C-alpha cells in the first residue's frame, strides 16, 4: 500500500537497506549462546509454555478460556453483558477468564497464548511475538479505537514541543523480569512516531533506561471470579510508577504513555502532553501495541472446532453492536475493564469509543498490523518474520457474519 513504511528487517516488504541496531533495541542471542531465539523483549528467558493440561485438548471442550487487556474491546462487553455465556450455554460449555485460575502459568497465557482452547483480545505485541516463536495462535479479528498516545512532560519543564526534546532524556521503560516486555516496545514506537513527525530520530534524544523488577503479573488481580479481568484499577494506577517518579524527580524529561495509563499519569502527576500520536492524519502514524487491537484464538481449537469459534466471534459482534447503541452502559464496561473511573473514559479514549469496538479484518487494519510487526522485527523483538497469510484467518469472521445475517433474516 503506497505511503506505508517498509520493514527494514527481512520480510517480503523490506527496504533496500536495514538501519543499524541501536543500543535500546532488544538484543538477539548468538547462535551458540544457549538462549532461545526471540527472548529479546527483556533480559528474561522466554519460557516455553507447553499445553497446560492434556484434558483440555479434546474435540468437544467443556471449558473455553479467554483473556482481555485493560483496553476497550467488544470481547470485554461480550463477557460482562452475557453475550458469550448465552452462546456457549447452548452446548453446556463454560467460559472462564484466565484470572479465575490461581495457577500463574495459566495466567501467563495472557502473554504466551499457551492455554489450550483460549481466546485473547488486546494488545497486538504479545500474539505477534508468540507467533514469531512458533506459537500455535491465529488472528481472527482486529479492532481499532484511537486512544490518546501522548508524549508527556512536567508543566514546569520549559519544554513546549517535541523539537525541544533534542538532547533531552526520554524514558525507556525496561521490565527485566518479563519475557514479553510489550511496554518497552510501545514506548519505543510512541517515541519514534513523535520524533518522526518533527523530522527527528531516536539519535536526537537521550533514551534513558527506567528499570523495574516488577513483572506485569505482579500487578494482576487477586480475584478468581469466573469473569474477572486480570488487571484492574490498582494495576493501572501503578503501571508507569517508576517512570512517573523519574519524570517528577527530573531524572527524565519526557515519557510516552497511552490510553487509560496516560489518563492516570496525567491526573496524578499533572504532566502535560506536547504531542499526541492519536492526532496523526494517517493510520500508520497511529499504530502501536494498542492500535490495532488483536483478537486471537488457539490454532488447535480453530482447526478442531471452527463453527464454535465462529459462534463465539458472532457473540463478540453482537456485543459490539449493542455497545454502539448503548453509550452509557458500554462506557461503564470499558471503565471497569480499563481500571478507570467512569469520568476518565472520555479523557483516555475518543468520545465515540463505544462505537469503535467493531471487529473486522479490513485490509487497512491488517496492513497497520504489518507496520507494527515491522517495528517489532526491526528492534529485535520477534524471533522471525511472520507469514501473515498463515497467521490471519478470515474464515471465522465470514462465518460469524453469516450467522448474524441468518438471525436477522429470521427475525424479519
- The CATH architecture of the domain made up of 150-222+232-286 is 3-Layer(aba) Sandwich (3.40)
pLDDT digits (tens, 9 = 90+) for 194-209: 999 999 999 999 999 9
Distance CA 156, CA 145 (A): 31
Indicate whether 340 pLDDT > 50.
yes
pLDDT at residue number 231: 81
Cell of 103: 495457577
Domain ranges of the chain: 61-146+289-411, 150-222+232-286
Asked whether the domain spanning 150-222+232-286 has the same topology as the one spanning 61-146+289-411, the reply is yes
Residue 64 has pLDDT above 70, yes or no: yes
pLDDT of residue 127: 98
Find, among 404, 377, 373, the residue nearest to 388 by Cα: 373
Residue 156, classified by CB atoms within 10 Å of its CB into exposed (0-12), middle (13-18) or buried (19+), is exposed
pLDDT band at 59 (very low <50, low <70, confident <90, very high): low
pLDDT number for residue 6: 35
Residue with cell 491465529: 138
pLDDT band at residue 32, thresholds of 50, 70 and 90? very low
Share of the chain above pLDDT 70, in %: 86
61-146+289-411 has which fold? D-Maltodextrin-Binding Protein; domain 2 (3.40.190)
Mean pLDDT, rounded, for 20-34: 41
All three cell numbers of 49: 509454555
Q: How confident is the model at residue 63 (pLDDT cuts 50, 70, 90)?
A: very high
- In this prediction, residues 76-99 reach a mean pLDDT of 97
* pLDDT beyond 60 at 38: no
Q: What crossing angle do the helices spanning 363-378 and 125-132 adopt, rounded to 10°? A: 70
Counted residue by residue, the chain has a size of: 412
Number of Cα atoms under 13 Å in the Cβ half of residue 27:
11
Q: What is the pLDDT of residues 241-280, one digit of tens each?
A: 999 999 999 999 999 999 999 999 999 999 999 999 999 9
Q: Which long-range contacts (CB under 8 A, 24 or more apart) does 363-367 make?
A: 363/1, 364/1, 364/283, 365/142, 365/144, 365/292, 366/142, 366/392, 367/1, 367/4, 367/283
Residue percentage of the chain with pLDDT more than 90: 77
Please give the average per-residue pLDDT across 330-358, as a whole number: 97
Alpha carbon of 251 to those of 72, 200, 391: distances in Å? 32, 22, 42
pLDDT of 366 reads: 99
The predicted structure's pLDDT at residue 93: 97
Confidence of residue 8 (pLDDT cuts 50, 70, 90): very low
pLDDT tens readout for residues 98-156:
999 999 999 999 999 999 999 999 999 999 999 999 999 999 999 999 999 999 999 99
Pick the residue with more confidence: 234 or 197?
197
pLDDT, averaged across the chain: 88
Lowest mean pLDDT across 30-39, 108-117, 204-213, 291-300: 30-39
Write out the DSSP string of 286-302. Answer: G-BTTBSEEEEEEHHHH
Amino acid at each position: 500500500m503506497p505511503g506505508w513504511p517498509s520493514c527494514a528487517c527481512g520480510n517480503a516488504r523490506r527496504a533496500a537497506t536495514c538501519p543499524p541496531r541501536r543500543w535500546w533495541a532488544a538484543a538477539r542471542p548468538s547462535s551458540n549462546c544457549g538462549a532461545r531465539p526471540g527472548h529479546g523483549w527483556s533480559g528474561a528467558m522466554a519460557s516455553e509454555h507447553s499445553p497446560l493440561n492434556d484434558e483440555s485438548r479434546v474435540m468437544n471442550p467443556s471449558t473455553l478460556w479467554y483473556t482481555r487487556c485493560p483496553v476497550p474491546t467488544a470481547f470485554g462487553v461480550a463477557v460482562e453483558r452475557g453475550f458469550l455465556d448465552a452462546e456457549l450455554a447452548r452446548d453446556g460449555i463454560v467460559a472462564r477468564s484466565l484470572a479465575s485460575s490461581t495457577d500463574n502459568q495459566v495466567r501467563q497465557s495472557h502473554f504466551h497464548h499457551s492455554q489450550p482452547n483460549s481466546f485473547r483480545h488486546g494488545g497486538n505485541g504479545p500474539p505477534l511475538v508468540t507467533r514469531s516463536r512458533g506459537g500455535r495462535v491465529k488472528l481472527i479479528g482486529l479492532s481499532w479505537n484511537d486512544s490518546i498516545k501522548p508524549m508527556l512532560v512536567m508543566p514546569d519543564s520549559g519544554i513546549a514541543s517535541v523539537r525541544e526534546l533534542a538532547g533531552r532524556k526520554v524514558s525507556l521503560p525496561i521490565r527485566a523480569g518479563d519475557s514479553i516486555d510489550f511496554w518497552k516496545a510501545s514506548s519505543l514506537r510512541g517515541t519514534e512516531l513523535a520524533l518522526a513527525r518533527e523530522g527527528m530520530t531516536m539519535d536526537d534524544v537521550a533514551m534513558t533506561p527506567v528499570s523495574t523488577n516488577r513483572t506485569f503479573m505482579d500487578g494482576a488481580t487477586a480475584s478468581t471470579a469466573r469473569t474477572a479481568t486480570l488487571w484492574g484499577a490498582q494495576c493501572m494506577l501503578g503501571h508507569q510508577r517508576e517512570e512517573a517518579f523519574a519524570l517528577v524527580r527530573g531524572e527524565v524529561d519526557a515519557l510516552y504513555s497511552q490510553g487509560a495509563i496516560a489518563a492516570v499519569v496525567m491526573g496524578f502527576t499533572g504532566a502535560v502532553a506536547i504531542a499526541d500520536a492519536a492526532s496523526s492524519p494517517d493510520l500508520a502514524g497511529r499504530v502501536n501495541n494498542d492500535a490495532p487491537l488483536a483478537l486471537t484464538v488457539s490454532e488447535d481449537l480453530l482447526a478442531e472446532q471452527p463453527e464454535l469459534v465462529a459462534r463465539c466471534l458472532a457473540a463478540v459482534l453482537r456485543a459490539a453492536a449493542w455497545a454502539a447503541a448503548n453509550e452509557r452502559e458500554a462506557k461503564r464496561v470499558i471503565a471497569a475493564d480499563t481500571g478507570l473511573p467512569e469520568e476518565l473514559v472520555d479523557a483516555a479514549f475518543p468520545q465515540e469509543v463505544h462505537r469503535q469496538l467493531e471487529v473486522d479484518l479490513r485490509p487497512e487494519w491488517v496492513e497497520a498490523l504489518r507496520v507494527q510487526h515491522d517495528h517489532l522485527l526491526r528492534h529485535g523483538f520477534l524471533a522471525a518474520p511472520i507469514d501473515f497469510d498463515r497467521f490471519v484467518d478470515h474464515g471465522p469472521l465470514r462465518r460469524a457474519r453469516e450467522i448474524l445475517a441468518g438471525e436477522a433474516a429470521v427475525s424479519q
